[in-house]
């Protein structure tokens, strides 16, 4: 098969024990009518978005017995059903499971299906009964078996090391639609039920599930672990873990036992995250006015995991390095990341688990809100971090993706549940959370909190749709929230607001912003905020049409300025304080395009330090995006960048670095003769920060300083700044001889490792060999992640190819490929695409069609820049398509074509080389 999707409809002959004459007669009679029944009825269940609703699960009794030696499992599930409509069929989800026996029992007797029909394409099984199952309660029992999944989905195997010996553990990842890989079930979020789970496992191992252990019964080398019955929950939130762990625990004042499980010997590294979990439980209990609904909460670090973490009810499973904090080897960025991830997953216990989306179309209700509220909680815990300014980096990612024509609405129609994998993206998380923050800013903190509290109480233990939330917000606020917000959740994209000053009139025009330059007639109801000359002079209004004019005479005159004197650009120096900043504090999900004199004044306001860091960030982010869309020239962007050369704020410099990286990448094709001077200009821009930061941290220094040092030094190393690389290599060499040296801190190690790889070539492989040796010899997971993030950053494409080939071996755990792919250098872009194309079938076989596979598309395909490469990629995947990459591939190809368009636009700027030469000479 060439990656094509085939419908797999076939009959599985049931393995029933024929124990009675009646059963044999029933089997014979059923056989006579089987063909007719199947022909007339089975097709009705194929190709459907949802399962038929004539049977609804109420309670599951699930018994699983994993064999960690054979990497298989067996199990039984007894499902208490409500038959809503009389039926000859029971249709439920199952994937890659062997069904041994099944039967249905109700007050009228016991019924055995005469056929079990498996549809692999729709991931369902159809149990066909000769006799009609009547309306009322009944119990469906199924005996099944399967293999521990190799691709980190369903009930899967992952490896760990105990005493130098590699061993196997079992863990689950069911979201979005992989509970069906573990046991037959009604695998839809709206079909909530209670779960009573039992695990049979080796006696020496720890067994965990959503609820506390009720009792354990030992039987030789095995034990049966029975867990308390859960409250109702969706199947994607069911979880089990079986392995060897250390743990630490704490009991809250409310009596909730909170435990953190991790690899043996690493429990000290779990203390920070456990403390965050405890504090966020308290924060959310107060914020939502609803107590945490379970008697315990476990946080478990597993060595292999496809995502960052998963919010299973009462049993949150994490990738190890998203939960464990090492005092010496974890960076300030990692500390911040662990805080946000932990706060995010704990928030899901309310927003997602207690109140659950009705269908995957409303995924953003889970992820957008958990993202937003995790920043709120982090801000409470660490106010000195100014985390809401860091949130703008999240918003920027959402804005970047949603400026693509192939993006999707926040509420995206999901027709095949499997396709929801691709919607765990920057729109659901980043745009979703930013739109929520925008709404909170419009309604006010008090009204917003009261609304969310009402929503949680009203829909607890139920499922909800986006409209349900808007209705509550409208009810509490007294405002038509539904009308305003539907434009943000049901439409793809967002507006750019063009702002022009004509005499004393500000003109606002909105249109959809697309990086492709296409013009689409869409409108949003936009909450506009603006300041004029001072943050004391603010105004806000709703932009509900495509065009609005506003008289600002009173606002301007109150600042002491005279509008009549605004005549020519030569007179701008006297009016530089009369700046207009729209989208104050960057609280809205839109871009702003300032015309003529307004743009000039804002550049001066940045230079004069008259604006908040958030607004400086927004001006730079919008300017960069407008340049990418060919709405503004690269010359204009470079002049804007130049006024940021004295900046020392983390989020501003971080954005500046990203803009410089992107400009440098396209300039290699657009203006190759000016690339070295452009690189020197960018180095000069960063030297102000670098000289103040130095390599060595100061005891008690600000969190943002630690963050900034790592980013600036790594950027200079990537830009091949000679002095930075020389110092980095010197410190790296000392660290190889003295692992305890203070010369290379956790925050500066990536800069050193990038420097090592930038000096690694096919002829001189010493750096790569040194890093791989360090990777293989260390058991410090934070170091292993850091090395993997850097080893593909060589400027030599052949070295990049050698690193990529490691992903086809067993050298690097499957779940860690994301780090390597994220670090591929721009010089290695074309060879990375060739490698992906040549090894596609091997990659598909090794990594499966899940979340991991999408990383190969989103990280490698957009690296190339030409329309010719885009054509080649489209042609290749025309015969190698996989359902789980369809949207990611379209987005990636669109990014390539947008860059090609940008490159062509830059080539038309004939004065650009002279400007770059002048800028490169500035210090």
Residues marked active site are found at: 345
DSSP 230: P
With b for 16 or more beta-carbon neighbours within 10 A and e for fewer, the 840-851 pattern comes to beebbebbbbbb
Residues 510 and 543: their CA atoms lie apart, in Å, by 9
What Cα–Cα distance (Å) separates residue 69 from each residue in 89, 147, 148, 202, 769?
37, 11, 10, 11, 34
Angle at 156 between CA 153 and CA 159, to 5 degrees: 125
Contact residues for 190 (Cβ-Cβ < 8 A; gap 6+) = 234, 356, 358, 359, 463
54 closest CA partner among 91, 83, 79? 83
**Local structure of 149: helix, strand or coil:** strand
Strands 257-262, 462-464: pairing kind: unpaired
Would you state the torsion angle of the CA atoms of residues 238, 242, 243, 245, taken in this order, to the nearest 10 degrees? 50
Strands 309-310, 315-319: pairing kind: antiparallel
Side-chain-side CA neighbours of residue 244 (13 Å): 14
- DSSP for 344-386 reads HHHHHTTBTTTEEESSGGGHHHHHHHHHHHHHHHHHHH-GGG-
Are the CB atoms for 508 and 550 separated by under 8 Å? Answer: yes
646 closest CA partner among 672, 609, 678? 609
Give the distance from CA 712 to its chain's centroid: 25
Residues 182 and 192: their CA atoms lie apart, in Å, by 17
Are the CB atoms for 593 and 495 separated by under 8 Å? Answer: no
* Numbered residues of the known binding site for Zn(2+): 344, 348, 367
Are the CB atoms for 528 and 522 separated by under 8 Å? Answer: no
Residues 790 and 362: their CA atoms lie apart, in Å, by 37
Strands 296-302, 315-319: pairing kind: parallel
861 closest CA partner among 905, 829, 897? 829
484 closest CA partner among 450, 530, 428, 438? 438
Would you state the torsion angle of the CA atoms of residues 630, 898, 422, 651, taken in this order, to the nearest 10 degrees? -50
* Numbered residues of the known binding site: 344, 348, 367
Contact residues for 246 (Cβ-Cβ < 8 A; gap 6+) = 261, 262, 263, 264, 265, 266, 267
What Cα–Cα distance (Å) separates residue 520 from each residue in 432, 491, 494, 705, 823?
22, 12, 11, 43, 35
Side-chain-side CA neighbours of residue 419 (13 Å): 14
């Amino acid at each position: 098969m060439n990656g094509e999707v085939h419908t797999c409809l076939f009959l599985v002959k049931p393995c029933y024990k024929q124990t009675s004459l009646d059963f044999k007669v029933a089997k014979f009679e059923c056989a006579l009518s089987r063909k007719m029944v199947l022909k007339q009825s089975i097709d009705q269940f194929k190709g459907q978005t949802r399962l038929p609703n004539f049977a609804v699960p109420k309670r599951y009794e699930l018994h699983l017995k994993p064999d960690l030696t054979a990497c298989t499992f067996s199990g039984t599930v007894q499902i208490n059903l409500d038959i809503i409509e009389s039926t000859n069929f029971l249709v439920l989800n199952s994937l890659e499971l062997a069904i041994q026996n099944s039967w249905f029992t109700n007050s009228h007797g016991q019924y055995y299906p005469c056929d079990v029909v498996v549809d692999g394409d729709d991931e369902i099984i159809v149990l066909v009964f000769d006799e009609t199952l009547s309306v009322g309660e009944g119990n469906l029992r199924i005996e099944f078996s399967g293999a521990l999944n190799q691709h980190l989905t369903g009930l899967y195997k992952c490896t760990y090391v105990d005493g130098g010996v590699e061993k196997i553990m079992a863990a689950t990842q069911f979201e979005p639609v992989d509970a069906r890989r573990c046991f037959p079930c009604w695998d839809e979020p709206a079909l909530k039920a209670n779960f009573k789970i039992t695990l049979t496992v080796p006696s020496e191992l720890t067994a965990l599930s959503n609820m506390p252990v009720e009792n354990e019964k030992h039987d030789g080398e095995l034990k049966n672990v029975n867990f308390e019955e859960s409250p109702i929950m969706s199947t994607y939130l069911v979880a089990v873990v079986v392995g060897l762990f250390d743990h630490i625990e704490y009991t809250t004042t409310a009596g909730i036992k909170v435990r953190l499980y991790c690899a043996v010997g690493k429990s000290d590294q779990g203390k920070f995250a456990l403390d965050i979990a405890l504090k966020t439980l308290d924060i959310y209990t107060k914020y939502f006015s609803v107590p945490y609904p379970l008697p315990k909460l476990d946080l478990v670090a597993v060595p292999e995991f496809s995502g960052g973490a998963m919010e299973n009810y009462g049993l949150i499973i994490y990738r190890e390095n998203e939960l464990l904090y090492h005092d010496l080897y974890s960076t300030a960025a990692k500390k911040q990341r662990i805080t946000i991830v932990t706060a995010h997953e704990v928030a899901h216990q309310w927003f997602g688990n207690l109140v659950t989306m009705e269908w995957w179309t409303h995924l953003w209700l889970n992820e957008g809100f958990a993202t937003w509220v995790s920043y709120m909680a982090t801000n409470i815990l660490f106010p000195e971090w100014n985390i809401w300014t860091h949130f703008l980096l999240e918003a920027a990612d959402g804005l970047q993706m949603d400026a693509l024509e192939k993006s999707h609405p926040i509420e995206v129609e999901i027709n095949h549940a499997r396709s929801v994998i691709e919607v765990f993206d920057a729109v659901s998380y980043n745009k979703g959370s930013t739109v929520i923050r925008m709404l909170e800013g419009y309604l006010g903190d008090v009204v917003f909190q009261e609304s969310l509290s009402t929503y949680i109480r009203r829909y607890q233990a139920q499922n909800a749709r986006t409209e349900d939330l808007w209705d509550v917000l409208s009810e509490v606020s007294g405002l038509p929230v539904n009308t305003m917000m539907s434009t943000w959740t049901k439409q793809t994209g967002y507006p750019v607001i063009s702002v022009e000053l004509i005499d004393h009139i500000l003109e606002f025009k909105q249109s959809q912003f697309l990086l492709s330059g296409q013009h689409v007639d869409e409108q949003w109801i936009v909450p506009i905020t603006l300041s004029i000359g001072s943050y004391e002079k603010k105004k806000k209004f709703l932009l509900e049409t495509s065009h609005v004019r506003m008289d600002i005479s009173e606002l301007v005159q109150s600042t002491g300025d005279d509008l009549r004197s605004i005549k020519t650009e030569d007179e701008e120096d006297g009016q530089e304080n009369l700046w207009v900043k729209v989208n104050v504090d960057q609280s809205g999900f839109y871009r702003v395009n300032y015309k003529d004199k307004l743009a000039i004044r804002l550049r001066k306001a940045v230079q004069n330090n008259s604006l908040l860091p958030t607004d400086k960030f927004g001006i730079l982010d919008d300017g960069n995006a407008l340049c990418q869309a060919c709405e503004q020239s690269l010359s204009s962007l470079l002049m804007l960048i130049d006024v940021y050369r004295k900046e020392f704020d983390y989020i501003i410099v971080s954005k500046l670095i990203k803009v410089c990286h992107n400009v440098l990448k396209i300039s290699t094709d657009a203006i190759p003769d000016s690339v070295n001077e452009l690189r020197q200009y960018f180095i000069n821009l960063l030297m102000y920060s670098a000289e103040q930061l130095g390599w060595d941290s100061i005891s008690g220094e600000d969190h943002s300083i630690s963050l900034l040092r790592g980013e600036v030094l790594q950027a200079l190393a990537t830009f091949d700044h000679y002095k930075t690389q020389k110092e980095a290599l010197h410190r790296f060499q000392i660290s190889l001889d003295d692992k305890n040296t203070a010369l290379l801190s956790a925050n500066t190690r990536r800069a050193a490792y990038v420097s090592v790889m930038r000096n690694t070539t096919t002829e001189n492989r010493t750096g790569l060999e040194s890093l791989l040796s360090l990777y293989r010899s260390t058991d410090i997971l934070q170091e292993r992640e850091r090395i993997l993030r850097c080893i593909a950053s060589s400027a030599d494409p052949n070295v990049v190819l050698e690193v990529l080939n490691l992903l086809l071996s067993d050298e690097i755990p499957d779940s860690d490929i994301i780090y390597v792919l994220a670090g591929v250098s721009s010089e290695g872009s074309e060879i990375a695409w060739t490698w992906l194309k040549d090894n596609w079938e091997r990659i598909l076989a090794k990594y499966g069609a899940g979340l991991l596979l999408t990383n190969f598309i989103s990280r490698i395909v957009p690296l190339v820049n030409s329309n010719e490469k885009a054509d080649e990629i489209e042609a290749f995947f025309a015969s190698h398509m996989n359902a789980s990459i369809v949207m990611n591939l379209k987005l990636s190809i669109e990014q390539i074509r947008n860059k090609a368009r940008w490159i062509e636009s830059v080539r038309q700027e004939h004065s650009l080389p002279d400007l770059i030469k002048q800028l490169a000479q500035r210090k």
